[in-house]
Amino acid sequence: MFRSEGRFKPFEKKVWLCSPTRHGDEELAYIQDAFDKNWITTAGANVDEVEKIAAEKVGCRFAVALGCGTAALHLCVKLAGIGRGDLVATSDVSFSATVNPVLYEGGIPVFIDTEYDTWNMDPRALEKAFSLYPGIRAVVCADLYGTPGKLDELKAVCDAHGVVLIEDAAESLGGSYKGKPTGSFGRFNAISFNGNKIITGSSGGMLLTDDREAAEKARKWSTQSREHAPWYQHEETGYNYRMSNLIAGVVRGQFPHLEEHIARKKAIYQRYREGLKDLPVQMNPYDQEASEPNFWLSCLLIEPSAMCRQVRDEKEALYRPEEGKSCPTEILETLARYNAEGRPIWKPLHSQPLYRMNGFVTREGNGRAKTNAYSDGAPLGQDGLPLDVGLDIFQRGLCLPSDIKMTAEEQDTVIEIIRSCFA
């Protein structure tokens, strides 16, 4: 079934969710420089320079350039002292890389439900988690799709319980909360330069902190933990996590364009908001007073009353088209028919088979009875809203094509395609 068959001309060039945006000569010049000087290794002027730029941009005193954001998060988790059996509270609606590093160290994630205002970790649920799981030793919170969460409140909860906050700012580089850049709220923070992030090195990441000793430790761990000695002397486990000087060249060429990328992403977000405003949908929300997202991905959430029937099992989705209604599956499939790429919301980590034995805490301090299937019978909280907010957003939401190179005309067609799903 495909309701708008033949109504639009498929895009000749695929409209991507989010693909790298190059600035030609600038990145190449830094790579060329590395070649010319033969710094084709994990040290050199590009690595030094991107560390300086990132530290300044994010407002942390120290930056350590690494092979990827996941490596940065791993070293954050190690710096927080997480070891076998330690509980770590983490965002529930996020990319799996937010939490994988906790597993690397033998820690046990406890998933904290999401709030509707910013789609990030709910500070009320985090507070509840500390009474349910007094053993929680650190908190990892992500800024979903480039939108800062309620970082003040989350930080206050962490401080009150004396645990380390790790901010996963992989998606939100360039965003800010109450005037302070994201990636600076945790004691240890991570950013990413993966191919689809707001700026990219093809891969790459960075650990950011104000703690000099921690930065030095991370730097040492990331280069195989060599001690100061004339030979290879080792007292600790080492990692080969340093960023390549060639990749750093790409990142260095991209950094001057960060603000421009954000402006373009914001324009895309605003165009969707305008173009979809009379549909029964809402864009991914943010606190317009407190925060300035980087608008990495534009998303939408369908009103419950405008959802057609949709069921998802572990691997597949089905839906039944209905007049005046739609669902993420229908919109994603229809976009794909026309050669445009959307994406489901990150499936909540608490509902992943990998984490079926892990805790999950809602704003009411419960939620251990987990379900994967979200249906009309989903449990409601005392406020009348769904108790499992993450699953509700997964069920009703999706990420829209948000590529910087998408033209206004292409975006207008994407908007028309979405509208046709609600016909």
Ligand X SMILES: *Cc1c(COP(=O)(O)O)cnc(C)c1O
Give me the residues that bind ligand X (CB under 6 A), please: 68-70, 94-95, 97-98, 142, 168, 170-171, 192, 194, 205
Considering the complex, what minimum distance in angstroms separates the CB of residue 145 from ligand X?
9
Considering the complex, what minimum distance in angstroms separates the CB of residue 205 from ligand X?
4
The Cα–Cα gap between 112 and 161 comes to 16
Residue with tokens 């820690």: 107
Considering the complex, what minimum distance in angstroms separates the CB of residue 67 from ligand X?
8
The Cα–Cα gap between 225 and 241 comes to 11
Considering the complex, what minimum distance in angstroms separates the CB of residue 395 from ligand X?
20
* 98 or 284: CB nearest ligand X: 98
Which residues, including other chains, have CB under 8 Å from residue 239's CB and lie 6 or more apart?
71, 74, 75, 221, 222, 224, 225
Q: Would you state the structure tokens that stand for residue 24, as one six-digit string?
A: 């030609």
* 250 or 387: CB nearest ligand X: 250
Q: What is the DSSP string of 35-95?
A: HHTT--SS-SHHHHHHHHHHHHHHT-SEEEEESBHHHHHHHHHHHTT--TT-EEEEESSS-
Rg (CA), the chain: 22
Considering the complex, what minimum distance in angstroms separates the CB of residue 171 from ligand X?
4
* 65 or 68: CB nearest ligand X: 68
* 11 or 111: CB nearest ligand X: 111
Considering the complex, what minimum distance in angstroms separates the CB of residue 75 from ligand X?
12
Residue with tokens 């650990």: 207
* 70 or 189: CB nearest ligand X: 70
Give the nearest residue (CB) to ligand X. 69
* 55 or 190: CB nearest ligand X: 190
- Burial tier of 19 (Cβ tally within 10 Å: 0-12, 13-18, 19+): middle
Query: 3-state class of 114 per DSSP?
Result: strand
